[in-house]
Amino acid sequence: MLEKILQSFGLNGSDYQVQFFGSGLINHTFKVSGRGEVYILQQINSDVFKSPQDIVNNLTLIQEYLNKLYPDYLFVGPMPTLTDEFLVESDGGKYYRLFPFIKGSQTINFISNEKQAFEAAKQFGKFTYLLKDFDPGLLKYTLTDFHNLELRFQQFEAAAKGASIERTEEASAEIKEVYKHNSILQTYRTILTNKEVPVRVIHHDTKISNVLFDEQQNGLCVIDLDTVMPGYFFSDVGDMMRTYLSPANEEETDFSKIHIREAVFSAICKGYLSEMGSIFTGKEKQYFVFSGEFMIYMQAVRFLTDYLNNDIYYGAKYLGHNLNRAKNQFKLLNEYIRNEGKFKKLIAQAETESFS
């Protein structure tokens, strides 16, 4: 079946080897190699992305803008088919795209030093910075309400109402934990009414595997652009906090391994502000630390909601998988909050080091 798709791009399937690639929970990704060439083939999950054409439209607009204003910026966009389209439909409702594999580039799945965190944060900051004068209103919402905490909270409440007795009992401590941190939702509401936290072009999925590095570990660019949409800085900064700070990731079930690496926090600040510092507003700075609370809380709520909904969104490799992920994120949230006093000092330090 994949052979037919490769054919649409002018590639002869029998010349290439196709392997599963990456670890995303939503889309399926394959590495296609042969004839000395390498490509990345990706199947879009159209249960989640209801209108894959919107992704293509967004990326085309951004690509044209960046190519014109910043021709040196490495933008990894999808490749055209023989009939000049960027999406191939197959098997009714399955959509595929092909990307070039950038020679000499590499991705990593784990942050093992500050340089990697700095470089990644710099690349996400740079992406939003280069698009500072691009009208975000031109972009479609490829996932409506993706980072709308209000809605995520409502979805949680609906799931809690409809959940089985067993799952409700198993999750009783985490359900309480959602309400315990309710002030995060209040702060989010306050921020949305503040014009000084502007709508920008935001990536919305800043995990470390979405950054391309060169062989010297310098950041090259960001990839996985399906969720690039209008949004707020706290989505990108917050997801870096969520996924970079702890040496143990969201799959870890030994929660004692979850802790905050202060040096990584400083590196995220320095890297992001090295690009965004000149346009960041006072209010954005004020809510920098809040970003982490926001994204970690929202992910905890989303995993817990899915557990209560019998794992219909994320799927589960074992019974209780999404409950464990939610517990993991709550542990991270509590660790994060415990360190906030230190974070404020680290930001001040990062600012003096960056701008003196």
Sites of contact with ligand GN1 (CB under 6 A): 24-26, 48, 143, 205, 250, 299
Distance of closest approach, residue 15 Cβ to ligand GN1, in angstroms: 30
Binding mask 46-85 for Mg ion (x = CB under 5 A): ----------------------------------------
48 interface partner picked from Mg ion, ligand GN1, none, CB below 5 to 8 A per type: ligand GN1
Q: Is residue 205 within the footprint of Mg ion (CB under 5 A)?
A: yes
299 interface partner picked from Mg ion, ligand GN1, none, CB below 5 to 8 A per type: ligand GN1
d(CA 149, CA 164): 24
User: Is residue 8 within 8 Å of residue 17, measured between CB atoms?
Assistant: no
Taking CB positions, which residue lies at the least distance from ligand GN1?
26
Candidates 87-95, 110-118, 205-213, 286-294; binding stretch for Mg ion (CB under 5 A): 205-213
Residue nearer to Mg ion on the CB measure, 55 or 191: 55
Q: Please identify which residue in the block is written with the tokens 């607009």.
A: 61
User: Is residue 9 within 8 Å of residue 84, measured between CB atoms?
Assistant: no
25 interface partner picked from ligand GN1, Mg ion, none, CB below 5 to 8 A per type: ligand GN1
Residue nearer to ligand GN1 on the CB measure, 270 or 302: 302
Distance of closest approach, residue 205 Cβ to Mg ion, in angstroms: 4
337 interface partner picked from ligand GN1, Mg ion, none, CB below 5 to 8 A per type: none
- Give the CA distances from residue 141 to residues 194, 259, 324, in Å, rounded to whole numbers and listed in that order: 21, 34, 30
Question: Distance between the two ends of the chain, CA-based, in angstroms?
Answer: 58
Q: Please identify which residue in the block is written with the tokens 């003196």.
A: 356
Candidates 95-103, 186-194, 217-225, 229-237; binding stretch for Mg ion (CB under 5 A): 217-225
Distance of closest approach, residue 354 Cβ to ligand GN1, in angstroms: 28
Radius of gyration (Cα) for the chain, nearest Å? 21
Distance of closest approach, residue 47 Cβ to Mg ion, in angstroms: 14
Binding mask 265-304 for Mg ion (x = CB under 5 A): ----------------------------------------
Candidates 45-53, 224-232, 236-244, 340-348; binding stretch for Mg ion (CB under 5 A): 224-232
In terms of Cα–Cα distance, which of 290, 294, 307, 319 is closest to 174? 307
* Residues β-bridged to residue 3: none
Counting residues that bind Mg ion (by CB under 5 A) gives 2
Backbone angles phi, psi at 184, to 5 degrees: -65, -40
d(CA 334, CA 329): 9
Q: Please identify which residue in the block is written with the tokens 């690349």.
A: 123
Distance of closest approach, residue 307 Cβ to ligand GN1, in angstroms: 14
User: Is residue 324 within 8 Å of residue 255, measured between CB atoms?
Assistant: no
Residue nearer to ligand GN1 on the CB measure, 26 or 316: 26
Candidates 74-82, 106-114, 158-166, 222-230; binding stretch for Mg ion (CB under 5 A): 222-230
Strands 37-44 and 28-34: antiparallel
d(CA 316, CA 265): 30
Distance of closest approach, residue 56 Cβ to Mg ion, in angstroms: 16
d(CA 105, CA 210): 12
Count helices and strands in the chain by DSSP H and E runs: 13, 9
d(CA 217, CA 118): 11
Residue nearer to Mg ion on the CB measure, 119 or 224: 224
In the DSSP assignment, the letter for residue 106 is B
279 interface partner picked from Mg ion, ligand GN1, none, CB below 5 to 8 A per type: none
User: Is residue 281 within 8 Å of residue 195, measured between CB atoms?
Assistant: no
Site for Mg ion, rule CB under 5 A = 205, 224
